[in-house]
Amino acid sequence: MDHRIARSTVRVRGFHLDGYAHVNNARYLEFFEEGRWAYFEQQFDLAALFNEGLAVVTVNLNINYRRAAVIHDELEILSSLSRINQRNAVMHQVINRVSDGKRIADADFTFVVLDTRTGRSIRIEEKLRNVLEPLVLEC
């Protein structure tokens, strides 16, 4: 697998389900969040970024629900950086069912880099851009 893609897995448990016995739509937010943490842990040190007074903050999340996941499904979350703009970046994420490889959901997560001292987003410039650009995998 391409080193620019982070892979994590989650097993669907009873508490993930809604009254229709499939994963509740809000739970996918948690699954995607798990994938993003795995990505950031794999690709760079978030603690070091925070120590520099910077944080990654979600500003938009668009989810496409493709099919239902049910109890005991093992899901694979694939996360990769798909675009870097001047003031934000986009991560593309996919959730597949491991047993048959079928797409369950996909999402585009837009984030900004926040200066924690001022509470304002900053431009993604030289130092950070040099870290992020080699990680971009266009979808």
Q: HEC profile for 4-29? A: CCEEEEEECCHHHECCCCCECHHHHH
Q: Which of 2, 18, 73, 108 is catalytic?
A: 18
CA separation for the pair 10, 118 (Å, rounded): 36
The answer to whether 104 touches 67, Cβ cutoff 8 Å, is yes
Please say if 18 is a catalytic residue. Answer: yes
The answer to whether 55 touches 15, Cβ cutoff 8 Å, is no
**Secondary structure class of 36 (helix, strand, coil):** helix
Give the residue numbers annotated as catalytic, written as ranges.
Answer: 18
